[in-house]
Structure 1
Amino acid sequence: MRHYLGIDIGTFESKGVIVDEKGRVVANASRPHKMLVPQPGWAEHRPKQDWWGDFTYICRRMLAESAIAPETIRAVGTSAIGPCMLPVDENGEALSNAALYGVDTRATKEIEELNAAIGPERILSLCGNALTSQSVGPKILWLKRNRPDIFAKAAKIVTSTTYLVQKLTGECVIDHYSAANFSPLYLIDKQAWSSELAPDIIEQERLPKIVWTTDIAGHVTAAAARATGLAKGTPVIAGTIDAASEALSVGVTRPGDMMVMYGSTIFTIMLSKERIADGRLWYAPWLFPGEHASMAGLATSGTLTHWFRDIAAREIDRGKAFAKLSREAEASPAGAKGLVMLPYFSGERTPIHDPDAKGMIFGLNLTHTRGDLYRALLEGIACGTTHIIDTYREIDEVPKKLLAVGGGTKNKVWSQATSDISGMAQTVCAKTVGASYGDAFLAALAVGDVRKKDIAAWNPEARRIVPSRSHRVTYARQYHIFRELYSRNRDLMAEPS
């Protein structure tokens, strides 16, 4: 029997699976961790504990509980949140906490200065992306200016998946999809690192070697075998960012396919025939040569549900709180009795790219309940997702098919409101495991045991979420107010608190 192992490191939880050659999950495990917010605008993980610690724990637990012989694992695939910014020494050991993806907005000043020095149009043209909080280049510059001692000691600046692969194999690599987020250090036409736009940020040799996602980066070392329980010499692929693995896990393989990932943030990926050049969206070469991906993401989604649970449902057992809140939200009518919430609790990423954006609850009166508030929160996230879809509509790149994945697909109010407000049906596949399942498939693909189209057999479509006509008028009003609240209050949001 052939097996493939996939492990993904998420914002709040890491998950792993072992999959057989038919795509059946034969073992799985997970482990929670925290996102650290040492000050407003920062978001961090501890790589040794939260990334490598989770990886080794999950790997050993799955092998022990399944009794699967490590030698039957043909390849290992891994993914993680990203793009992150982490300085490491010559042995790949972390020199500080990792600055996370776009929810970490510490480099706002550096973004402004790089835009002024290079020009936003030139950056978009050559890098495929505008500089935003998602960009790693400005965060490296922030490190250089604000932590010069750590920057000087750093042999490499890496992202999360690079760190894991280096711990497993000793090789320091990054896939093109992840590297494209290092703007302004990666040029899309050359598909290579370049110091042309910003020669003073970092030397190219201090960045990882760029490869494709399914390239074999290396093999499990003796030290990694002892730490994980894997067999020494097991192939390890380069891997990628979690959202990309998650998209592949539900069959995003053709131009026009769009994944909507319901996780700690909403993240979307749409494949396209040609590169989409729009500063409101992100671009990257897809996981395979000659293919293109366009991305978007909200700053807070599942993160916001955790915040609400912690402040509004403290009396409920944590294991039962979300189920209780969901029932209360279902009891509230569509439109939450006129409540509209802006989910900009950590600024906002796409399409407005505004780190100063603020959360807002509009329309409160004395009749509103906790269930109304929670429903408004979920509908506010759905409005934010619709804003992303409308951005594609505005540039005549309408998604042909929405494939929904992630824990939020189990929340009826959240997923239904997304279809109702956007007017688009969503497909949910049989397995909603997510990125770790995609990692296992990528591992199988890398060693030639499957073809890309085989994901449809591994994870067939299970159900559809269809827009409800009965809520059209209510949600049209709500979405209109949602868009107006930001545009009318943007200047106030930017004022110092």
Structure 2
Amino acid sequence: MLFLGIDVGTFETKGVLVDAEGEIVARARRRHGLSTPRPGCVEHDPEQDWWAGLCEISAELMHAAQGSRLGAVGVSAIGPCIVAVDEELAPLRAAILYGVDTRASAQIRTLNAALGEAEILRRSGNSLTSQSAGPKIAWLRDEEPEVWRRARWFMTSQSWLVARLTGEVTIDHGTAGYFHPLYDFDAGAWDVTGCEDFVEVGQLPRLGWASEVAGTVTRRAAEATGIPVGVPVIIGTTDSPAEAVGSGVVDEGDVMAMYGSSGYFIRVGDEPITHRELWAAPYVFDRSYVLAAGTSTTGTGTRWISDLLGITDPDDDVTFARLLDLAHESLPGARGVMALPHLAGERTPFQDPQSRAAFVGLGLQHTRADLARAMLEGIGHSAAEALLTFARANVQLSRVVAVGGATRNDIIMATVATVTGSPQHVVGSPGASYGDAFLAAHGIGEIPHRADAKGWGEATRVVAPDPRSFEQLRSDHQDFVALYRALAPLAARRAHRFLEVADV
């Protein structure tokens, strides 16, 4: 029996076929686009970027599975996103993406004033940030009322894909936990009190746990995807919890550090914990919880600096190898150059969508290598500051499991490990789709225990703190935080002025 896992990421969709022992039988991937129609807005086309990619990957993997029985399907995707759909599940506009989309700042202020920040924190276990889905629904009401009035459902990425596969409109508790302030963290239920002017409970998907079966593949979906009619499809979750499961992050105190297009860090626990600077949500299993942090720029920063320095190759692996080789021509500390990599604002702990990137300390003696190293170290400092937020919240981290493309970058990894003092246990995970396959097998009872996931994710190497650069990087990190605080007021003024000009 095989299990199909599919994950829709920011820039590509990946799929795997896996057996019950975790052995990968086949894999596939498809690139897709990303739209930034105006500052602060980041979108996907659900039909082209999500559904078409899922259909292509499913068809390819089903061809590879000929002669084998498919036990179940698991789907994950970026989130929380907002896709407004009609009664037939047709999207009414492009999907509004997760925390990298910062358009709803005004709605956050309005909701904070109307409900009270203390009440929002009590209900949601979280403060409102760009990662919150609720304000983005309010944005649709304010800015695109025609779309808002036509919406039958407000869904997220994987919930819409699962609905297209099964006809069932569902969402997992873990993703719903980011629909603040619409989800009651303690009760594990929707609560739209004070938000009835922009959403009704009946417009939100049915709640369940990630590995619960949402429904089975319909005939129409089977024709589009090649997946046999009647195969069970689990409710699924967002990409980061799915990747955590596939990396074996299931025990109390385990942390998954996902270094992808952005950075995401989730700490698993058996008890709910809330903190103003971190995101609290249920995990994928009943009576399990996460406390999470995120950064806005990781892989997007390496891509941007590669383009800027003119070293981009059609093969991404070649591009990033060139970038790393160039950065190694410099020294730890980048010979005095520091980069603030806030190309799309920043999330934990600053929660500042208006922050912007900067290089400081440049002199005539500096080279392209110094710029490359400064950006890579800046990405590392950004991730380290997010991880250090757990310590400030008095939350113990027992093991940090590092996954994602940037784990191949020894400068980023060494910076994070050295600044935080936490070794990075690098797992060569195939990605969130691998965790989706585990959850699918778990959901139909083929793999009965969640602890079995630990056998699926094994560390390939450990990046320990570097004593040779300890003093340099620890001192640099203090300057990194000070740089953000010094530039934040200027960035906010310039962002406001730029938006005024854009409006004209």
- The amino acid across from 1:30 in the alignment is R
| 1:449–1:315 CA distance, 2 compared to 1 (3 A) | closer
Conserved in 2, the CA contact under 8 Å of 1:195 and 1:203? yes
Return the alpha-carbon distance in structure 1 between the equivalents of residues 187 and 173 of structure 2: 11
Corresponding residue of 1:376: 374
From 449, 452, 455, the equivalent of 1:454 is 452
Q: CA deviation at 1:478?
A: 1.0
Return the alpha-carbon distance in structure 2 between the equivalents of residues 315 and 81 of structure 1: 26
- The amino acid across from 2:426 in the alignment is V
Return the alpha-carbon distance in structure 2 between the equivalents of residues 316 and 98 of structure 1: 29
How many residues are matched? 493
1:8-42 C-alpha deviation (Å, 9 max, x unpaired) = 00001111100012111110010111211000000
Conserved in 2, the CA contact under 8 Å of 1:130 and 1:279? yes
Q: CA deviation at 1:62?
A: 2.0
1:253-300 C-alpha deviation (Å, 9 max, x unpaired) = 112111000100010000124322212111101111211111110011
Deviates more, 1:367-376 or 1:47-56: 367-376
Superposition TM-score, scaled by structure 1 size: 0.97
Deviates more, 1:319-328 or 1:157-166: 319-328
**Residue 213 (structure 2) pairs with residue 216 (structure 1):** yes
Conserved in 1, the CA contact under 8 Å of 2:442 and 2:450? yes
Corresponding residue of 1:474: 472
The alignment partner of 1:106 has SS state of coil
Q: CA deviation at 1:199?
A: 2.2
The alignment partner of 1:297 has SS state of strand
Q: CA deviation at 1:458?
A: 2.3
Conserved in 2, the CA contact under 8 Å of 1:378 and 1:413? yes
Corresponding residue of 1:239: 236
Q: CA deviation at 1:449?
A: 1.2
1:433-458 C-alpha deviation (Å, 9 max, x unpaired) = 11000000100110111121112222
Deviates more, 1:26-35 or 1:267-276: 267-276
Superposition TM-score, scaled by structure 2 size: 0.95
1:362-392 C-alpha deviation (Å, 9 max, x unpaired) = 1111222222212211111111111112211
Return the alpha-carbon distance in structure 1 between the equivalents of residues 314 and 288 of structure 2: 46
Q: CA deviation at 1:315?
A: 6.5
Matches within 5 A, 1:24-173: 24-64=23-63, 66-69=64-67, 72-173=69-170
Corresponding residue of 1:278: 275
The alignment partner of 1:181 has SS state of coil
Instruction: Calculate percent identity across the aligned residue pairs.
Output: 42
Conserved in 2, the CA contact under 8 Å of 1:185 and 1:197? no
1:316-357 C-alpha deviation (Å, 9 max, x unpaired) = 555422211111112321111111111111111111111111
From 330, 333, 355, the equivalent of 2:331 is 333
Corresponding residue of 2:289: 292
Corresponding residue of 2:222: 225
Return the alpha-carbon distance in structure 1 between the equivalents of residues 446 and 266 of structure 2: 26
Return the alpha-carbon distance in structure 1 between the equivalents of residues 69 and 299 of structure 2: 36
Corresponding residue of 2:398: 400
- The amino acid across from 1:383 in the alignment is H
- The amino acid across from 1:33 in the alignment is H
- The amino acid across from 2:56 in the alignment is Y
Q: What stretches of structure 2 of length at least 5 have no aligned partner?
A: 498-504
Return the alpha-carbon distance in structure 1 between the equivalents of residues 314 and 31 of structure 2: 17
How large is the Cα RMSD of the aligned pairs? Answer: 1.3
The alignment partner of 1:331 has SS state of coil
Matches within 5 A, 1:345-356: 345-356=343-354
1:129-183 C-alpha deviation (Å, 9 max, x unpaired) = 1011111111001101111111111110100011100110011000000111111
Return the alpha-carbon distance in structure 1 between the equivalents of residues 262 and 314 of structure 2: 24
Return the alpha-carbon distance in structure 2 between the equivalents of residues 261 and 413 of structure 1: 16
The alignment partner of 2:266 has SS state of strand
| 1:57–1:368 CA distance, 2 compared to 1 (3 A) | same
- The amino acid across from 1:331 in the alignment is E
Return the alpha-carbon distance in structure 2 between the equivalents of residues 96 and 114 of structure 1: 24
Conserved in 2, the CA contact under 8 Å of 1:338 and 1:478? no
